[in-house]
Structure 1
């Protein structure tokens, strides 16, 4: 060979790391710059070697029933198929049985070279898949990568369905670069066609946003990154790059818990909401705020059936919302169970005129969406108070704020979050699988924590309370949103790992786990 391939390629696990998420355009730019100074076929050789290394590591540590079975590759007609062929050749030379299904012979020059390598190594190559996959161990999706522009069809659509069916029966399915059929920028399925549902994805050069948001998390499975020798290092404050949310982005902003601190050191929060019949929502948010470290937590109810005190947490101070001294608050979280009455609208306007940090959720967002004057106040808050509001919409609420339908909003979650942040000059938390956090200065992050346990009533109220508490503790709005979303999702992940979900996890169970995680991760005594 005329190119160097590392004996042990670098593989990066993005777990708990602030990893740059690169769009197709950003990846192409870096790829073309690297190719200009490298011998022919180098990047494909490195990608294939990384895939082979990943598979060897998995096979070595697999139960014998899996480790003795051959690896089956599905190779597409482009460079993704070339990566699969190089990996198959490397495995064959390492003494691991493998087979390639290539319905259409590869076309690009690099992939033609890879095909010659596979043939020289003696890799069996067929045009049709087997009648059954029971004889195989790992199944590898090398059909299409980030360049796919239209829905999978014909034999490739059928292969995608076969691989996805096997994955649903707990088979080990590895996608090379991205699951075939998945848009690596948006996390949507290309053209509404089929896509491969993988258990693992080995993505090349850098991580992609579509692997972490939309349906991407479901299709990608566990993601590893193979940099293949291309430098993707960028500054954490770069506004052009989206980031995978991780403690490195927000931990430096958490307040110290010195011996000499007191309740005033950690701020006073007001949670406003709870119209008649909906008083549970602000109670959930306030409890979460208390357990997330706020010094003092007040609750202001709009409804006539508000409780006199909260028995599990009598530390919470409960009020009629109209009588609560909002001017004395460091932060206000408004909207949970607030309703849409005239008094609710007046309260939101009053809150937006405060010097305090402000979070708007749920009904407060719906009031803003249909009231141009309130919308203008949201933007004005950032300009006159020198701190943007935090908005925490789910997709339907976000669509109302943008004046589009939900399908259009979900078509590109990153662009939608950026548009909202720009329009309202606010920090936006666009909830959903792979929550997107966008700042008005164009900073963007995708959150990797959380699971289906959060698909139950009240979890959004808990999130609002956590972020509100962090705002009261004087975290900047963007970092408060990053921290709140990360810990909220991590609490759900931890509870599911303990067997307390995903089915049946109640929203109220999240806050005690958030408290435990905050203390364990950021405030544990140093030995």
Structure 2
């Protein structure tokens, strides 16, 4: 599992460790890891042209010490000092002793660089790059150099993943001690590139700010039938979806539900003929949800239009997933009053409507938005997007690490809803059902697309392959 810790927590751990070590030890550990990563990226260090963009803080000091190590290995290293009178003094001295030089013309050295180290701002930076740094960032990105961020790309917010201004997009980020939330959450994640973690010995708390499950953790969540299982013991999920205008939403939600581990799927709505034609194993009803038979969880909303069902399902005593049209005008008090778990699965536009803010604000402030929704509704919230986030009213936010941009296709969210609802019906808590569903869905999207356009139904058909991939032992993968 990848875990991300906020700036305050990381700095506290750093102070506690520095108090036990000789001065400068922690920075040397970071610089050693940074230099080793850069050397590996370069392949051949001797004769390579490296440029350091050096800010005034410890981030700039890390870059200078790493630059000194690269210079001693034969690289030609130049430092661009954004604040010469405030550059890290010990780091600058070590850099010049090792043969590094301070650049007189920053744009000249950037134009021919093989690698640029971004040490402009560190984890304490806010509000984008300062105006004097913007031309340097643009020159670095406009060159043919590989850009490596020191701890965090300059201009992004470490705690929130927000990018409030111009930032320097990295090809690789070398982060120290712990992942920061901004390295895992868009839009900042897009600026980080490939992230390398350098352990420096920090003693961090057991509860992070964010966490990203991997194959092993998701495999532990997936239900497996026992010898005595029957279709009812495995769980029954009810799906209230589709309308005369959107019968396909019913088909896609049922497609996801049938592949989510529950033993049976009950469908309620006007799309019964379309559902039966594709999935004859579905138990179909055209009446009210409360007359459809016993279920262990409900999914309501995909393609529902103005159709009924949301009120009846929310009045039930089983877990409920609400998506799409079911979210329109959803009353927080009605959700908070429920005795069973509720899982909401909005995209950015739906989340914006629930919060009463512009969509652009949700997209820019994804972490804050998902936390606010979870607190306001007293529910688990899965915020769909380029990085899917899952939040409860308290505890770490989960970040999904699978997926592909090809999943941005009509009906994909309907498949995810059915899948997550099915996992709810097997007995998984809302947080775990949402996390496992998002992971499976993203992996199935990769299998279905394989670098080319795909469809929502193809994603649903790829779910068993994704399930087997996750459930396999490491030797079988």
Judge same fold: TM > 0.5, yes or no: yes
Matched, 1:222 2:194: yes
Q: Which residue in 1 is equivalent to 2:3? A: 20
Q: Which residue in 2 is equivalent to 1:521? A: 470
Q: How far does the alpha carbon of each residue in 1:252-286 deviate from its partner, in whole angstroms, 9 at most, with x for none?
A: 33223334433223211121111221111121111
SS of residue paired to 2:86: coil
Q: Which runs of 5+ in 2 are unaligned?
A: none
1:209-358 to 2 correspondences below 5 Å? 209-232=181-204, 234-235=205-206, 238=207, 241-302=209-270, 307-322=273-288, 325-340=291-306, 343-344=307-308, 347-358=309-320
Moved more, 415-424 or 216-225: 415-424
Q: Which residue in 1 is equivalent to 2:23? A: 40
Matched, 1:196 2:168: yes
Q: How far does the alpha carbon of each residue in 1:327-384 deviate from its partner, in whole angstroms, 9 at most, with x for none?
A: 41111111000113xx42xx1111011122210001111131xxx4xx3221122xx2
Q: Which residue in 2 is equivalent to 1:121? A: 98
Query: What is the rounded CA distance, in whole Å, between the counterparts of 2:421 and 2:126 in structure 1?
Result: 42
Instruction: Give 1:182 shift.
Output: 0.6
Q: Which residue in 2 is equivalent to 1:107? A: 86
Structure 2 contact 7–158 (Cα < 8 Å) conserved: yes
Instruction: Give 1:411 shift.
Output: 4.6
Distance 1:405 1:313, change over 3 A: same
Structure 1 contact 103–128 (Cα < 8 Å) conserved: no
Distance 1:173 1:93, change over 3 A: same
Instruction: Give 1:247 shift.
Output: 4.1
Q: How far does the alpha carbon of each residue in 1:61-107 deviate from its partner, in whole angstroms, 9 at most, with x for none?
A: xxx7x986322222222221111111110011122333322243262
Distance 1:312 1:88, change over 3 A: same
TM norm structure 1: 0.84
Moved more, 26-35 or 147-156: 147-156
Matched, 1:147 2:124: yes
Q: Which residue in 2 is equivalent to 1:365? A: 327
Q: How far does the alpha carbon of each residue in 1:453-507 deviate from its partner, in whole angstroms, 9 at most, with x for none?
A: 12221111111111011111111111101101112122233445x33x3xx2212
Distance 1:324 1:380, change over 3 A: closer
Distance 1:324 1:68, change over 3 A: farther
Query: What is the rounded CA distance, in whole Å, between the counterparts of 2:211 and 2:38 in structure 1?
Result: 27
| Residue-pair matches, total | 476
Equivalent residue in structure 1 for 2:146, among 144, 163, 172:
172
Equivalent residue in structure 2 for 1:438, among 385, 388, 391:
391
Query: What is the rounded CA distance, in whole Å, between the counterparts of 1:308 and 1:150 in structure 2?
Result: 51
1:477-516 to 2 correspondences below 5 Å? 477-496=430-449, 498-499=450-451, 501=452, 504-516=453-465
Distance 1:309 1:364, change over 3 A: closer
Alpha-carbon RMSD across the aligned residues, in angstroms, is: 2.5
Q: Which residue in 1 is equivalent to 2:415? A: 462
SS of residue paired to 1:307: helix
Distance 1:506 1:162, change over 3 A: farther
Distance 1:523 1:91, change over 3 A: closer
Moved more, 353-362 or 257-266: 257-266
Q: Which residue in 2 is equivalent to 1:10? A: none
SS of residue paired to 1:265: coil
Q: How far does the alpha carbon of each residue in 1:164-188 deviate from its partner, in whole angstroms, 9 at most, with x for none?
A: 334xx7x522111111101111111
TM norm structure 2: 0.92
Distance 1:146 1:197, change over 3 A: same
Query: What is the rounded CA distance, in whole Å, between the counterparts of 1:162 and 1:472 in structure 2?
Result: 54
SS of residue paired to 1:46: helix
Q: Which residue in 1 is equivalent to 2:336? A: 379
Q: Which runs of 5+ in 1 are unaligned?
A: 1-17
SS of residue paired to 1:299: strand
Equivalent residue in structure 2 for 1:98, among 35, 57, 77:
77
Structure 1 contact 202–226 (Cα < 8 Å) conserved: yes
Structure 1 contact 302–338 (Cα < 8 Å) conserved: no
Moved more, 192-201 or 126-135: 126-135
Distance 1:165 1:317, change over 3 A: farther
Query: What is the rounded CA distance, in whole Å, between the counterparts of 1:103 and 1:376 in structure 2?
Result: 53
Structure 2 contact 70–77 (Cα < 8 Å) conserved: yes
Instruction: Give 1:517 shift.
Output: 1.7
Q: Which residue in 1 is equivalent to 2:134? A: 157
Distance 1:126 1:147, change over 3 A: same
